[in-house]
Amino acid sequence: MSNTWMIVLIGLIPVVLAILIVLYITKKVKFKGSLRLNKLVITFYFCILIVFGVVYEILPKEPMLEKMSEEKLQKFQSENRIFEEKLLKQEESILNPKFLKEEWTHEISGKTLSLGYIGNDSYSTKVVVEWVDSNAQKIEGKVYRSHINVYGLKIEDKIPLHEVEWVGNELVIHEPSEQEFTFEQFSNELSLFQHTDTMEIRMVRGFTYIHLKVPKHMEIVDPLGLQMY
């Protein structure tokens, strides 16, 4: 119980501050304008605020970040899910083409292929291996990334792809370097009245998938467990 009370008290501090400010203002503001002046101020203030409102709506603004609706987000989520299912089943043909980011082939020397990850969040990347009948040293790879959406903001373009490079026999996946984006949003609503969570889906977590076609005679060393089965 004491914890909740502490939180309540801390939450009350800004309210108390607000109360003090209000009391101070109402006591101090003794500006006794004449009646005519008061009426003028009242109407003028009202009109100017409405004018501002209209002006804002009409004003040409810089292009703003788009916000996705709930249905679109759900669509994204299901597309992601379907993609992962299909990929695991290795039904390449049905895969969503827009997720394909990179395509390459690489020759390695030797029989061992290792997977490495540089970054904090290795769970963001999943490697799906398809074993093929081949005696060659070629490995085909396709890099996909499924929908990423945070708070409904269309930021997919802003989030850089994982860099994938070959260092000798090691496939190294680099996490994007740290960046911070700040967005501003205006809300027309009072949070006091919104009791239902307006957004059910807060984040669509997309993953980076690497689909490798590896000849059967090779071995994969996967210390971080990047492979998906």
* Nearest-5° Cα angle at 210, 205 to 215: 155
The stretch near another protein (CB under 8 A) out of 15-23, 91-99, 105-113, 128-136 is 15-23
Output 11 or 133, the one with its CB closest to another protein: 11
- Nearest distance, CB of residue 25 and another protein, angstroms: 5
123 binds another protein (CB under 8 A): no
Site for another protein (CB under 8 A): which residue of 81, 104, 165, 176?
A: 176
Segment 58 to 87, residues that bind another protein, using CB under 8 A: 59, 61-62, 64-67
d(CA 12, CA 1): 17
Closest CA to 205 of 115, 119, 90, 123: 123
10 binds another protein (CB under 8 A): no
53 binds another protein (CB under 8 A): yes
107 binds another protein (CB under 8 A): no
The stretch near another protein (CB under 8 A) out of 19-27, 71-79, 89-97, 215-223 is 19-27
Segment 203 to 222, residues that bind another protein, using CB under 8 A: 203, 205, 208
Identity (one letter) of the amino acid at 128?
A: V
Closest CA to 112 of 163, 174, 168: 168
Segment 125 to 154, residues that bind another protein, using CB under 8 A: 148, 150-151, 153
Contacts of 161 (CB under 8 A, 6+ apart): 101, 102, 143, 145, 176, 208
Site for another protein (CB under 8 A): which residue of 6, 105, 110, 183?
A: 183
The stretch near another protein (CB under 8 A) out of 56-64, 85-93, 132-140, 214-222 is 56-64
74 HSE (CA, 13 A, CB side): 5
182 binds another protein (CB under 8 A): yes
13 binds another protein (CB under 8 A): no
SS3 28: helix
Element (H, E) at 55: helix 35-58
Is residue 184 exposed (0-12), middle (13-18) or buried (19+ Cβ within 10 Å)? Answer: exposed
157 binds another protein (CB under 8 A): no
d(CA 47, CA 120): 54
The stretch near another protein (CB under 8 A) out of 74-82, 120-128, 135-143, 165-173 is 120-128
Output 151 or 166, the one with its CB closest to another protein: 151
Number of amino acids touching another protein (CB under 8 A): 71
Identity (one letter) of the amino acid at 132?
A: V
